[in-house]
Amino acid sequence: MNNSKTTFRLGELFCGPGGIGLGAKNAQIATNGNIFSIVHAWATDYDKDTCDTYRYNICPNSSKSVICRDIRKLDYNVLARISDIDGLAFGFPCNDFSVVGEQKGINGVYGPLYTYGIKALRKFRPKWFFAENVGGLRNSNEGQTFQTILEELHAAGYRITPHLYKFEKYGVPQARHRIIIIGIREDLNISFHVPSPVPYSDIDISCRNAIENPPMPLNAPNSELTRHAPAVIERLKHIKPGENAFTADLPEHLRLKVKGAKISQIYKRLDPDRPAYTVTGSGGGGTHVYHWSENRALTNRERARLQTFPDDFVFCGSKESVRKQIGMAVPPKGTKIVFEAILKSFAGIEYPSITQNINYSPRLLESKGEYSVGVATL
């Protein structure tokens, strides 16, 4: 008997290099002779190298389905002409909500960009959506920004499940915490539950295991070494695994003369027996992520392993561009787990789940006939 197929066409805004796209592409569920999967429909981002990376790895046979354009100048009818969609993913830019940076929130350059996701939900009416951002989003503007976003996602016609995922609990060798909001269209009698991390508790998530097993291929792409100044190499010789430039016992001439906050990731070596600290898109001033025993920064390929990209995933652009792409991406192995939970929800398959750690309860305001949202963050 031939299997039947249920396929969800995915559109992506702010697609990045393909962390979300690869997780979706790899997600698949089989039940009662029916295969549930997700296929790429279209994607858009504003950065050329990022779009080239996405095309090369996610949709090499349909390069025109990736639109490289500033979303503020993008006519959504261009996307509609490519394909209808059943699901929408948007990891809207997090720069203004991250704990690293000025935290301008919704008033920054990037903060308002989530509204383009709302606009897409109203135009395309997908069956579900996957929205992602940094954990710092909860604290922007004393929580009001997050509440506004949840209100607008709900008002677009979706039952939403926001949750702060700690990806190291899901088999990712990196302490990476991201808010993911899953929405299911309200007219569908389908509920989504946060997948439990318990099935992944026995995975070795040490950065040593991630970087050394299997051994890195000699011809692995994006493996260029960083050229360090002699002073940087000398400084690293005095920093032990897990230490940074401020906790290590450095000679006076190698100490950093920094006023104010002492950022913990500056020249911080990995602890080989623990998951890596968060890989970021920055790279200057000692933020490359540093090997636990060799006096050097990690290569982009090693950073990509910490993000769970396979070795044959090729990043396009200069070494610096690739570093930024990797740091801004979402771990594909983590997103695959969430996408498979969506597929199981639509397939009617029960799966181990946990209670969402961000409480969300819409309530009707009788005076205005509008919805309000109660949000309790961690």
Q: Could you tell me how many residues make up the chain?
A: 378
Active site residue 15: no
In angstroms, the CA 18 to CA 209 distance is 23
Catalytic residue among 51, 59, 94, 316: 94
Q: Report d(CA 33, CA 46) in Å as an integer.
A: 40
According to DSSP, the residues that pair with 233 across neighbouring strands are none
Give the span between the Cα atoms of 127 and 183, in whole angstroms.
8
Token pair listed for 162: 């926001």
**How far is the C-alpha of 155 from the C-alpha of 140, rounded, in Å?**
21
Catalytic positions, please? 94
